[in-house]
């Protein structure tokens, strides 16, 4: 890296190699814009998803699912971690080359900090480089939240998902603090690898945003795998011992303890803005620490945009990608695209089988005044879905929430094999007004999971009368 006096003046500066940032950098660079991409670590080229998020965790889920009962848990896990490391190394290199091969794009490794609204200083050890840009895009992502629980931050047995997936020693007794998407996903994965798993969740139930029947089906699968789910549990202290930690928690007014040799802190993630010097740039943040943006993802400085987790929106890679489309439309398009255009955004919890949802739950639809009819069926009872039996995964259910007057699909919960793919078809149907009848009568390949729609949607109940 150059000395401070040897600064750069470019068209676009992107801080953070995540999905939204790298997509923008590549798009603008190919158009001849002078772009600098700053990433604080060469281990994070490509962003969170490729290196420590979606790709490695879903690869580990796949390895966990393929372990046979007589396979050595420890050896299988060690091989899985090694395989995933090779995969992320490959993808990291490809992502670097994606930008490095564009003449107009320069990748700089170091920590970025705003000096003023248009100038950023990048540091790497004793080296300093100043970069001035007409347009700046902040894409620094998010970081794990460590709750203020006595003894937790200092515990040598506590870890985050980032560190856990790179550890080759399989935990024997894993305690998961938090029953959200990340906590449940890791609980299911590590149980399949062979660990004893307990989830401590402060809310009165797991998957509280889902309808009761959907949540109950998911909980039944998790408990059937041997995972202990403790809801309404407020952790009060963590105490380290010689070969593990004691976790103290309260439930129903009584005190309890849990022994674990690994504690996964899965209490959510917060926008990564520490050290960015946003104050020097006059960039406002929200009460939760996210960079404040408008519907076009502009910050309080109109030439600065924030994309991905750092702007406080939904923490999904595909949202970051859509963020990049909105910013690109501002810079090289019509400027009409905005976050208000997003409808029926799907989500998937990668337990086994995965739980995918989109649109409204039955509870939400009724609360909004819809007269609804419900189409639902357990996977094991769907005769027209032989794929579930072919892959020997018949657990779960499909549920559709349908507007009784228009036959439009309001939402769906798919707890089944291939649901991460099925939900995209349902989301497209919702966005484009495809009716439940049309989806029911469509022609699907065989044997596939999608053809289950033919049978499930035929069970739609008669309209309810709202009181």
The answer to the question of whether 452 is labelled as a binding residue is: no
The answer to the question of whether 182 is labelled as a binding residue is: yes
The answer to the question of whether 373 is labelled as a binding residue is: no
The answer to the question of whether 47 is labelled as a binding residue is: no
The answer to the question of whether 253 is labelled as a binding residue is: no
Active-site entry in 256, 296, 367, 446: 446
The answer to the question of whether 273 is labelled as a binding residue is: no
The answer to the question of whether 29 is labelled as a binding residue is: no
Residue 146, C-beta contacts closer than 8 angstroms, at least 6 positions apart: 152, 153, 160, 265, 267
The answer to the question of whether 268 is labelled as a binding residue is: yes
The answer to the question of whether 140 is labelled as a binding residue is: yes
The answer to the question of whether 223 is labelled as a binding residue is: no
77 and 168 Cβ atoms separated by less than 8 Å: yes
Which residues, in sequence order, are bridge partners of residue 399?
376, 413
Q: Mind spelling out the 3-state secondary structure of the chain?
A: CCCCCCCEEEEEEEECCCHHHHHHHHHHHHCCCCEEEEECCCCCCCCHHHHCCHHHHHHHHHHHHHCCCCCCHHHHHHHHHHHHHHHHHHHHHHHHHHHHCCCCEEEEECEEEEEECCEEEEEECCEEEEEEEEEEEECCCEEECCCCCCCCCCCCCEECHHHHCCCCCCCCEEEEECCCHHHHHHHHHHHHHCCEEEEEECCCCCCCCCCHHHHHHHHHHHHHCCCEEEECCEEEEEEECCCCEEEEEEECCEEEEEEECEEEECCCEEECCCCCCHHHHCCCECCCCCECCCCCCECCCCCEEECHHHHCCCCCHHHHHHHHHHHHHHHHCCCCCCHHHCCCCCEEECCCCCEEEEECCHHHHHHCCCCEEEEEEEHHHCCCCHHHHHCCCCCCEEEEEEECCCCEEEEEEEECCCHHHHHHHHHHHHHCCCEHHHHHCCCCCCCCCCCHHHHHHHHCCCCCCCC
Q: Torsion angle, CA of 280/286/291/292, rounded to 10 degrees?
A: -100
**446 flagged as catalytic:** yes
The answer to the question of whether 275 is labelled as a binding residue is: no
The answer to the question of whether 58 is labelled as a binding residue is: yes
Cis (ω within 30 of 0) for the bond into 353?
A: yes
The answer to the question of whether 185 is labelled as a binding residue is: yes
Binding site, by residue number, is: 58, 140-142, 178-185, 201, 268, 309
| Binding-site sequence positions for NAD(+) | 178-185, 201, 268
Residues recognised as catalytic = 446
Binding-site residue ranges for FAD: 58, 140-142, 309
């Amino acid at each position: 890296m150059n000395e401070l006096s040897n600064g750069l003046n470019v068209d676009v500066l992107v801080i953070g190699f995540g999905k939204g940032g790298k997509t923008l950098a590549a798009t603008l660079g190919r158009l001849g814009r002078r772009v600098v991409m700053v990433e604080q670590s060469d281990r994070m080229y490509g962003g969170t998803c490729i290196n420590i998020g979606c790709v490695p965790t879903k690869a580990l889920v796949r390895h966990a699912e393929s372990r046979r009962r007589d396979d050595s848990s420890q050896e299988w896990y060690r091989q899985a971690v090694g395989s995933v490391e090779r995969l992320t190394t490959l993808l990291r290199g490809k992502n670097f080359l994606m930008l490095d091969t564009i003449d107009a794009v320069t990748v700089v490794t170091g920590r970025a900090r705003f000096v003023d609204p248009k100038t950023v200083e990048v540091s790497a050890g004793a080296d300093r480089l100043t970069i001035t840009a007409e347009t700046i895009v902040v894409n620094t992502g998010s970081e794990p939240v460590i709750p203020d629980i006595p003894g937790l931050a200092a515990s040598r047995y506590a870890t985050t998902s980032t560190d856990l997936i790179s550890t080759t020693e399989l935990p024997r007794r894993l305690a998961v603090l938090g029953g959200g998407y990340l906590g449940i996903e890791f609980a299911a994965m590590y149980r399949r690898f062979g660990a004893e798993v307990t989830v401590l969740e402060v809310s009165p139930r797991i998957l509280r945003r889902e309808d009761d029947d959907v949540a109950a089906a998911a909980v039944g699968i998790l408990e059937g795998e041997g995972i202990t789910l403790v809801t309404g549990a407020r952790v009060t202290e963590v105490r380290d011992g010689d070969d593990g930690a004691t976790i103290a928690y309260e439930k129903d007014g009584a005190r309890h303890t849990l022994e674990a040799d690994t504690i996964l802190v899965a209490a959510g993630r917060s926008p990564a803005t520490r050290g960015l010097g946003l104050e020097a740039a006059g960039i406002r943040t929200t009460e939760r620490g996210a960079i404040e943006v408008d519907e076009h993802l502009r910050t309080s400085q109109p030439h600065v945009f924030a994309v991905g987790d750092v702007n406080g929106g939904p923490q999904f890679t595909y949202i970051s990608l859509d963020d990049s489309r909105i910013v690109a439309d501002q810079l090289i398009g019509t400027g009409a695209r905005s976050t208000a255009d997003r409808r029926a955004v799907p989500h998937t919890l990668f337990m086994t089988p995965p739980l995918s949802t989109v649109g409204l739950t039955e509870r939400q639809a009724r609360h909004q005044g819809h007269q609804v009819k419900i189409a639902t069926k357990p996977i094991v009872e769907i005769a027209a879905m032989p794929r579930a039996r072919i892959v020997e995964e018949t657990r779960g259910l499909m549920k559709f929430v349908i507007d009784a007057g228009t036959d439009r699909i309001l939402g769906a919960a798919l707890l089944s094999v291939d649901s991460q793919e099925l939900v995209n078809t349902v989301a497209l149907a919702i966005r484009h007004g495809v009716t439940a009848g049309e989806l029911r009568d469509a022609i699907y390949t065989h044997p596939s999971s999608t053809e289950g729609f033919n049978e499930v949607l035929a069970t739609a109940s008669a309209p309810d009368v709202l009181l």
